[in-house]
Chains A and B, each alone.
Chain A
Amino acid sequence: MHGYANPTRFLRFARPATGWFLGLGLALLAAGVLGGLFVTPPDYLQGESVRILYVHVPVAWLGMAGWTGIAVASLMQLVWRHPLAAIAGRAIAPAGATFAAICLATGSIWGRPTWGTWWEWDGRLTSMLILFFLYLGYIALASAERERGGDGRMAALFGLVGAINLPIIHYSVLWWRTLHQGQSISILGGSSIDRELAWPLYLTLLGFTSLFAAVVLMRMRAELARTKAEARLRRRAAE
């Protein structure tokens, strides 16, 4: 990871990788969405509304994975002073916030035909809403620190402390058994969803993750270019 501490070396990887992640993400997403909407059968209990699963689950996963990325970047910044860590944290935050917002919106839309309500102060829904507000707080704090020329340490501390919410979101369906269903898919433990229904989900999961990676790389490239432009302007002013 420290090999990419040098921005030039990082850009040598990021420039081609951005296009690859974009292309791969769009292709996987197109296949997953078409499969989820038109190929898989309706669920025996939820009927056609189960098709919301193929977009809701990936954006929920990325909302949480985004904050995990921020926490890792924060740790790298505070402990190892990795020069790209603060940039990575700031690049991840808008993508994570967008996916957390989409997760809340699609969950609410799914809730109406399934539970009969748009919103309930259920443990999973509430902790996800808190995650969205944490993203907004992180974006505001990191932007303010950058504008003042700070090193982003306060935002990094906020990123680490905010990670407390991640296990709360994960275990909320076990701790407070209310409306939201329990976990039906996990990275290590497999899936309780039938294979006939599950395959488009794996495609959309990979597709959204690739697009997320592309957005993070684009944001990092923008930040590095802005830093370079500012340095060139300062050098000119000093001449």
Chain B
Amino acid sequence: MNPWPFVVAAYAVTGLGTVGLLAWAWRSMRVAEAEADRLGRRP
């Protein structure tokens, strides 16, 4: 059995999961902080 498709699949799953988690955490942080700033600025 050729092991490389399994190696590539494991790295792809890990990469997609990690990048997805980072992107979601980054976006939710930026959106929440922008909203808090906006509410703080408005008179």
Contact = CB atoms under 8 A, between A and B. Distances in A.
A229 B39 contact: yes
A128 B8 CA distance: 23
Interface of B is mostly: helix
Interface stretch (A131-139, A146-154, A211-219): A211-219
A226 interface: yes
Contacts of B39: 228-229, 232-233, 236
Nearest to B4: A48
A123 to B, nearest CB: 22
Interface of A is mostly: helix
Contacts, number: 97
A167 interface: no
Interface string B2-43: 011011011101100110111011101101110110011000
A102 to B, nearest CB: 5
B21 to A, nearest CB: 5
Interface in A81-112: 94-95, 98-99, 101-102, 105-106, 109-110, 112
A180 to B, nearest CB: 16
A48 B7 contact: yes
Interface size class of B (residues with CB under 8 A): 20 to 34
B10 A55 contact: yes
A226 B32 contact: yes
A232 B40 contact: yes
Contacts of A98: 17-18, 20-21
Contact of A225 (B11, B14, B33): B33
A43 B39 CA distance: 58
A52 B15 CA distance: 12
Nearest to A221: B29
Given A55-B11, A232-B40, A101 B17 contact: yes
Contact of B36 (A33, A55, A59, A228): A228
B6 A222 contact: no
A55 B14 contact: yes
B21 A215 contact: yes
A48 B17 contact: no
